[in-house]
């Protein structure tokens, strides 16, 4: 009995994690937050902290993808490339 419950539990878990993964592959949402709204300290780049504070799950997930030169910051030009791709 307990074994059956455990199997159901793990099946449910794997289904949930699969759908979460599928969501992560979405590259650009319908609405991308404005650069200036995320760049809180106005240094013309978006830090990881600013991305996390933006409440945009898309931005948090896509941060590494957008950061082409891997310096841990999103420059305005890096961000613009994503925006132009979506429109
Ligand atoms: Ca900034
Ligand atoms: Ca960068």
The closest ligand to the CA of 51 turns out to be 1
Least confident of 18-27, 42-51, 53-62: 18-27
What CA dihedral angle connects 21, 22, 23 and 27, to 10 degrees? Answer: 110
49-69: per-residue pLDDT in tens?
999 999 999 999 999 999 999
User: What separation in Å is there between the alpha carbon of 17 and the centre of ligand 2?
Assistant: 29
* CA distance to 50, 69, 76, per residue, from 72 (Å): 11, 8, 13
Say what the pTM is: 0.64
User: What separation in Å is there between the alpha carbon of 78 and the centre of ligand 2?
Assistant: 7
């Amino acid at each position: 009995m307990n074994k059956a419950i455990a199997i159901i539990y793990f099946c449910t878990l794997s289904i949930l994690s699969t759908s979460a993964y599928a969501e992560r592959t979405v590259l650009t949402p319908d609405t991308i937050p404005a650069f200036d709204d995320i760049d809180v300290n106005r240094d013309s780049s978006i830090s990881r902290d600013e991305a996390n504070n933006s409440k945009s799950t898309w931005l948090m997930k896509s941060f590494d993808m957008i950061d082409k030169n891997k310096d841990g910051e999103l420059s305005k030009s890096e961000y613009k490339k994503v925006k132009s791709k979506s429109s």
